[in-house]
Each structure stands twice: as C-alpha cells, then as structure tokens.
Structure 1
C-alpha cells in the first residue's frame, strides 16, 4: 500500500510538472513560436514577420524576450505589457507604429531593451517611458520624431544607449536629456538639427560617444559641450560648420577622437584644441582650410592620426609652422600623399610634406 501510494504520488507529481509546463506556453499566440529557456522559468516568444496587425494579448506570463519585428502593428495601447511583468527585451522594429499611449509600457520594470526602429512615430508621449526603470537600450531610429521635450525621458536613470538617427529633429532644446544621468551613447545622426541649446546636454556627465553626423549645424554655442566631461568620441562630420573656438570646445578634456570631416571650416584659431591633451585621432578632411598654425598640435602628445586631405591649402609664408610640424610629427597623416597645395600657382599640386619653407613667400 505504501509503495503504491508512493508511485501514485510520483505520477501525480509528474503530471503536475507536465501540466505546469504546458500551461507556461499555453498562452502562446497561434502564429508565434514560444520556447522555454533551458533550466529557467523564462519563455522566448518569436512573432517576427507573422502578419500581426495588433500587439498580441495572449502571451505566456513568463515571457522574457518578445520578437515582433516586421509586422503591421500600428499603435501601442495602454498596459500592453501588464500580463508579462518580467519581460526584458522587446523588438518592434519595422512595424507601422504611429502612436504610443502614455501608459503603454506601464509596469514593465524589468525591461532592458526596447527596439522601435523603423516605425512611423512622430511624437513620443511625455513621461511615456517613466516605468522603464531598468531600461538600458532604447532604439528610436528611422522614425519621424521632430520634437524632444525635457520630460520625455523622465526617470530613465539607467539608460546607457539612446539611438535617434534618421528622424526629423531640427532643434536640441535645453534639458532634453537631463534625466539620462547614466547615458553612455547618444546617436543623433542623419537628422536636420540646425540649432543646439547651450544647455541641451545638461545631465550627460557619463556620456562617452556623441554622434551628430549628417545634420545642418552651422554653429555650436559656447559651453554646449561643457557637461560632457566623460566624452571620448565626438562625430560632427557632414555639417555646415564654418568655424570653431576654444569656448565652443570647452568641457572636452577627455576627448580622444574628434571627427569634423566635410564641413565648411575655413579657419581654426591656434588655441581651439588647447584643452584636448588626450586627443589621439583628429579628422579635418573635406573642409576649406587654407592654413593651420603648427603650434595648435603641440598640446596633443597622444595624437596618432590626423586626416587633413581635401582642403584648400594656400602654400605661402603663413603655412610655414604647419609644414615644420609635419616634418617633425610622429602622427600618421592619412593619406599623406593627398596633402597638396591649391595655391599659389608655383606650388599648386605640390605635396605639403615636400615643401621647402625658405621658398614659401608671403602674399604681396
């Protein structure tokens, strides 16, 4: 009797385990594939490219990864994540999302990654992400977002990576990112940014990478980069910048890489990079520079690569200190043979490193 009871108990236990496992994935949407992570009470739900027109409601309660990319979901209603409180990663890229309810992500306190790349979002709800206390990665690229408001990213104190390329931003207002005190990476490339507020980057003391490539910046206000004390890489390629000053670059003492390719820089003051002792890569190619003061690089002991080709070098007496520096530096001038004089006629197409300083005359 005792042995029979023990066997029945064992069978009952097995049935309970099987029932529990079936129930765990029983909520899987018909068109999706649900798989349990081995050894963990976590289910991955794969609904990628399954023709969904709405956010699925019958999801397993232990879902932790949700793949919903390349569907036709057009909006995110309130509390869509209420029944999956342990969700950690959601991919909604390349849907047709136009609107997000302010409480769409309510309760998702374990979410670490949210990918909304390639949708039709024009406006982000104010404080719409405030419940995402553990979010680390937020991808909002290739949407139609035109305005950033100070409380848009409220309470996102753990966000480390914010991607906003390929949107319709024209202005970076004051305090746009002030809540993002842990942010390390900010990508604002391929927008239409023309104006940056002097306080646009307030709060970003931990930022290490800032990408402003392919915008419409003509000027940068003095002190705008001041809060970026940890910044190591700044990309300003393909803008309309015509000049920079020491006050413009203030705050970038830890910068290691600066990219200013394909702008409209005509003149750089000798002290513009004075406070960037850690700079190892500097790219100034594709501008309108006619001359540089060689002394501007003496404050950069770690400079390894300098890109200066495709400028309008005027090889007269004003370029002597720069030519002398070229002859002494150990930095790689890339590409060295592309550094050529545009004027005057007697030096046209000559290589800057080959110039003899005693033959560089002052203009009449």
Structure 2
C-alpha cells in the first residue's frame, strides 16, 4: 500500500512536470527553492509557447521565428529572471509586453528587426540589470524608452542605425555602468546626451561617424574608467571635450584623423594609464605633455605621419627617458622628410634634426 502511494506520487509529480512544459521545449527543475529552466532554443517557434511552468526563472527562445512580443507575454511566469530572444525576427514589442515581470534581470533581444521601442515599454522591468538590443534597426533613442529602469547596469546597442544622441536620452539610467554604442552611424552627440550617467564606467563609441564632439560632452561621466573612440572621423580633440574625466584610466582614439594635439589636452585626466593614438595623422607631439601623466603605463603611437624634424625633439627626448611601454618602438617611423622616410624614431639623433622652413 505504501509502495503504491509512493508510485502514485512520483507519477503525479512527473505528469505535472510534463503538463506544465511546452511540447517542443525541454524543462528542467532546480530544487531549493524550486525553479524551472525552459529551453526552447531553435525549436521552430513563431510565437511565445503556452503552458510555461509558473516557476520558470530562465526562458531560452533564441534562434526561432518569433515576429512579435505581445501584451503580457510573461504574465504566466512571474518569477522569470532571464529571457533570451536573440536571433528571432521580432519587429514589434507591445508596450505592455513585459508587464508583471518584476523579477526579470536579463533580457536579450540581440539580432532581431526592431526599429523602435515604445515609450515606457520597459517600465515594468524594475530589476532589469542587462538589456541587449544589438544588431537591430533602431534609429532613434528617447529617454521615455528607458523610463523606470533605475537598476539597469549594462545597455548594449551596437550594430543599429543610430545617427544622433539627443539631450538627456539616458537620464533615467542612474545606475548604468556599461554603455555600448559601437558600430552605429552616430554623427552628432548633444552636449547633454550623457546627463545622469554618474555611475557609468565603460563607454564604447567605436566605429561611428563622429567628426567632432562638443565641449564638456563627457563631463557628467565622473566615474568613467574606459572610453573608446576608435574608428571615427575625429580631426581634433580639445581639452574641453575631455573635461570631467578625472577617473578615466584608458582612452582609445585609434584610426581617426587627428592631425594635431594641444600639449595640455590630457591635463585633466590624472589617472590615465593607457592611451592609444595609433592610426591617425599626427606629425609631431610635444613630449612634455606626457610628463604630467604620472599613471601612464602604455602608449600607442604607431601608424602616424611623423615628420622627423626639430619639432619632434621633445618627444624623442621623452621616449629616451620614460619607462612607459610604447607601441613597438620599431613601428614608430618617419614619413617625412624624404631622406628620413621609414627611419625608426628610436634611431634618430635630436642634435642632427633640421627645422622645416
């Protein structure tokens, strides 16, 4: 009798497990406290599956054919913490799609066809920490999109169609630490675009179309430690652009069109330890600018258009004395004058350098 009762209970538990799992998905349960992980990855789904277990905490719907996220899509799983919707065909998200998902911490929408986000579309996601929106077709960002997201720490927006960053667009994101805007088409940044991002530590603007950056644009970013401006069209970098970055440790401005840098351009970045200026159009630099950078450990200057005349003397003298690790010293070579073309900077004797007429 006791054995029959145990068998009946086991059978009942198994049937409940099967009954509350979508047919095409695989569900596994973690005990203490009980949580279900629902794996519907690459199962040919065109909509959210029904019959989800109410204790689901992880839902993987990646690489399906879902085209829209309807209202109350997660209402049946109030304990959900992670949802993966990457590489579907999602074009629209209902403003109430995530209503009730107050415990959601990670939402991955990478690689879809999203063109815009409804105002306050994420406002119910009070505990969301990670939002992945990369490789979509988003062209405009508005502050209302991020309303209520006071706990978001990581926002990924690479590979979209952004051309402009408007004023106060990220203002609701008061705890944001990582912002990736790389591989867009950003040409213009409002001076107040980054207002409110006092906790931001990493900002990636790699591979955009920036020609200029307004003065004091980065001033609100008092906690920023790494700034990536590689592969843009920047021709100048003024002291006022970098104003306020007192905690910056790494700055990357590779493969731009920088032709000149003021000797005091980095004077307000006392903690800078890594600086990359390779792949620009620099002809000379005042070596004295680096004397006032006590934390500098690595400096990348190769692939520039070094003009090896008397104006480069201070840089050569600093290079001889410094303990900073330079980009392979042999990669630093003269472009002009013709008689010194391709000659290594380290082999030059300052006393023999001529002054250009």
TM-score scaled by length of structure 2: 0.97
The one of 67, 76, 92 aligned to 1:99? 92
Q: Which residue of 1 aligns with 2:343?
A: 350
Query: Cα offset for 1:201?
Result: 0.5
SS in 2 for 1:250: coil
Whether 1:298 aligns to 2:288 is no
Query: Cα offset for 1:57?
Result: 2.2
Whether 1:133 aligns to 2:126 is yes
Q: Is the 8 A contact 1:25 1:60 kept in 2?
A: no
SS in 2 for 1:324: helix
Q: Is the 8 A contact 1:24 1:61 kept in 2?
A: no
Whether 1:60 aligns to 2:56 is no
Whether 1:84 aligns to 2:65 is no
The one of 108, 119, 132 aligned to 1:115? 108
C-alpha distance 18-180 of structure 1, shift in aligned 2 (>3 A): farther
Which sits farther off after the overlay, 23-32 or 226-235? Answer: 23-32
Give the Cα separation in 2 of the matches to 1:21 and 1:219. Answer: 63
Query: Cα offset for 1:13?
Result: 8.2
SS in 1 for 2:289: helix
Q: Which residue of 2 aligns with 1:263?
A: 256
Give the Cα separation in 1 of the matches to 2:126 and 2:160. Answer: 25
Q: Is the 8 A contact 1:122 1:145 kept in 2?
A: yes
User: Alpha carbon RMSD of aligned pairs, Å?
Assistant: 1.5
Q: Is the 8 A contact 1:57 1:80 kept in 2?
A: no
4+ residue stretches of structure 1 with deviation over 4 A? 10-18
SS in 2 for 1:299: coil
Structure 2: runs of 5+ lacking an equivalent: none
Structure 1: runs of 5+ lacking an equivalent: 1-6
Give the Cα separation in 2 of the matches to 1:201 and 1:14. Answer: 62
Whether 1:321 aligns to 2:321 is no
Query: Cα offset for 1:346?
Result: 2.6
SS in 1 for 2:143: coil
Q: Which residue of 2 aligns with 1:212?
A: 205
The one of 198, 220, 233 aligned to 1:227? 220
Whether 1:283 aligns to 2:276 is yes
Query: Cα offset for 1:53?
Result: 0.5
TM-score scaled by length of structure 1: 0.95
Q: Which residue of 1 aligns with 2:356?
A: 363
Query: Cα offset for 1:165?
Result: 0.3
